[in-house]
Amino acid sequence: MKLNRLLFAIGLLTIMTGCQSTISPQAQPVLNVPFGVPLPADYRNEIAIARFSEILSRAELPADQQAQLLYDRGVLYDSLGLTTLARIDFNRAVKMKPDLAEVYNFLGIHNTLLQQYEQAYEMFDAVIELNEQHDFAYLNRGIALYYGERPDLAQKDFSTFLSHSPNDPYRALWLYLAQSLLNDSDAIATLRANRANLDDTNWGSQIVDLYLGNLKEGDFLANIQEGVDSQQMYAERLCEAYFYLAKLYQARGEQGVAIDFFKLAIATNVYEFVEHKYARLELDIMRAQSEG
């Protein structure tokens, strides 16, 4: 309805019915969830990138030192969401120093995000071959297996990852996500058993309580700000909260709500968090499914 027609109708109604007092409705939020300011780019990372670039362009360095600088710059690019530039540096670094385990780990993550799962498995296998104690290679390979629709293998990696730190709620959550694709009731039972080992001072334990039904969604959202002492911490918590809420709604079949929460996770700009990285992958997969 156009504005001039609306004003005419309102005026006519006033003449016909006489003057009546009105109450202006209060504005309602679009979503009843907490919001934060997206994290700005860290200027210190930008300065470090410029410094590394200058050294690489001017200095005559041995191949292993160049590889380390390329890796370090790639990590900084990745932290700013510049994934293509990061991937270029990681690929250059691994050619110069094929035994740099961390490079394979990042390349595996990038392969997962590109849905190149077989290549991702190879990258994470290389990490573990070079360093069997590389903790996060098990997480990242588990995630690749999870999105590659191999939850039986994913749960094995997540179980290994959890065994290294049984009090970490995020490790328990990823194990649950994989197991829930196999048998949801068993997955809940395992999550409930793992809850007994979790650190209650870790905010992520509240996410586990949400999944177990021990905490209502409204209370969970209201608790996000507790103990927060910086804008960065708040953005990080929101990123995690949005992602795991999205997964919860996704499991319930409420795809529209899940999509909104995945988008909110991305909007936090917490590029370094797995929740931010894989929220985008979730949207890509859901878009492909809807188009197919």
- Per residue in 29-70, pLDDT (tens digit) is 445 665 555 656 677 888 999 998 999 888 788 999 999 999
Distances (CA, A) of 23 to 14, 20, 26: 15, 10, 9
146 DSSP 8-state letter: H
Place of tokens 């990061």: 86
**84-93, 163-172, 219-228, range with the lowest pLDDT:** 219-228
pLDDT of residue 21: 39
pLDDT band at 133 (very low <50, low <70, confident <90, very high): confident
Maximum average pLDDT range among 48-52, 158-162, 288-292: 158-162
**20-24, 90-94, 196-200, range with the lowest pLDDT:** 20-24
Distances (CA, A) of 133 to 31, 36, 160, 164, 281: 43, 37, 11, 10, 27
Q: Per-residue pLDDT averaged across 259-269, rounded?
A: 95
**24-33, 156-165, 187-196, 204-213, range with the lowest pLDDT:** 24-33
Measured between alpha carbons, how far is 36 from 240 in angstroms, rounded to an integer?
Answer: 13
Q: Is 60 exceeded by the pLDDT of residue 159? A: yes
291 vs 190, higher pLDDT: 190
Q: Is 70 exceeded by the pLDDT of residue 103? A: yes
Average pLDDT, the chain: 87
pLDDT band at 166 (very low <50, low <70, confident <90, very high): very high
Measured between alpha carbons, how far is 175 from 171 in angstroms, rounded to an integer?
Answer: 6
Q: Per-residue pLDDT averaged across 150-177, rounded?
A: 97
Burial 255-285 (b: 16+ CB within 10 A, else e): eebbbbbbebbbbbbbbebbbbbbbbbbbee
Q: Which two tokens stand for residue 164?
A: 């290294």
pLDDT of residue 32: 61
Q: Per-residue pLDDT averaged across 100-122, rounded?
A: 96
pLDDT of residue 58: 84
Q: Is 90 exceeded by the pLDDT of residue 84? A: yes
pLDDT band at 221 (very low <50, low <70, confident <90, very high): very high
pLDDT of residue 9: 37
Q: pTM of the full predicted structure?
A: 0.85
Q: Is 70 exceeded by the pLDDT of residue 27? A: no
- Please name the residues in contact with 18: beta carbons below 8 A apart, sequence gap of 6 or more: none
Measured between alpha carbons, how far is 162 from 139 in angstroms, rounded to an integer?
Answer: 9
Q: Is 70 exceeded by the pLDDT of residue 267? A: yes
186 vs 40, higher pLDDT: 186
**17-26, 173-182, 223-232, range with the lowest pLDDT:** 17-26
pLDDT of residue 105: 96
pLDDT of residue 18: 42
